[in-house]
Homo-oligomer: A and B are copies of this chain.
Amino acid sequence: MDAKLQAAGAKFIQAMSQISSFWGFPKAMGAIYGAVYLSPRPITLDALVELVGVSKGAVSTNVRKLERLQMVHKEVKIGDRKDYYVAETNFWRVVQAILQERQNRQFDQALRAVDESLQMVSAASEDDDLSRFYQQRISRMQSFFSTFDKIVTAIAALDEFRLSTLHKILGRPDT
């Protein structure tokens, strides 16, 4: 009986691992989240080592990554030195946190570089064909990213209720 459940859990954890790696996160990180998510009660680091099958060091660092993204939350019990973790179950909040984290790093920096390149074009001799071409292309790229960014941000900011509305607005491909 229990063996079947355990197998199902392992399958799920492995799937989370794949999904994690697909989105550019460490495999172990997804697996750990899966394990926390499937635990009916707050779970310890050592239990995670057991379930996920990676070293304690790896669990430790990955759990901290998950915490930073607010995908898991630490709980402490008085008179107990162990840390207990519970999963964040509001996935849209998770998406939001991940986007924020990413935003403030390389991506924004790259966008600023695009900005800069546009300014550099403007600073160059302004009225030959090539200049105008560069200007047009770069600013098109810029406005695409701007729109993209706004849409993503806006969607991430929606709560679960308004999301279902959005879902309806977009129209179901299956109807």
Contacts and interface: CB of A to CB of B under 8 A. Distances in A.
Interface of A: 1, 4-5, 7-9, 11-12, 14-15, 18-19, 21-22, 24, 37-38, 40, 89, 91, 95, 102, 106-107, 109-111, 113-114, 116-118, 120-121, 123-125, 129-131, 133-134, 137-138, 140-141, 144, 147-148, 150-151, 153-155, 157-158, 163-164, 166-167, 169-173
Tell me how many chains of this kind the complex includes.
2
A106 B144 contact: no
A107 B155 contact: no
A138 B107 contact: no
A106 B16 CA distance: 12
Nearest to A15: B113
B4 A124 contact: yes
A7 B120 contact: yes
Contacts of A167: 147, 150-151, 154
- Secondary structure call for the A interface: helix
Nearest to A18: B110
A79 to B, nearest CB: 27
A170 B154 contact: yes
B18 A144 contact: no
B163 A147 contact: yes
Contact of A144 (B91, B118, B154, B171): B91
A141 B37 contact: yes
A6 to B, nearest CB: 9
Contact of A4 (B110, B123, B164, B170): B123
A134 B5 contact: yes
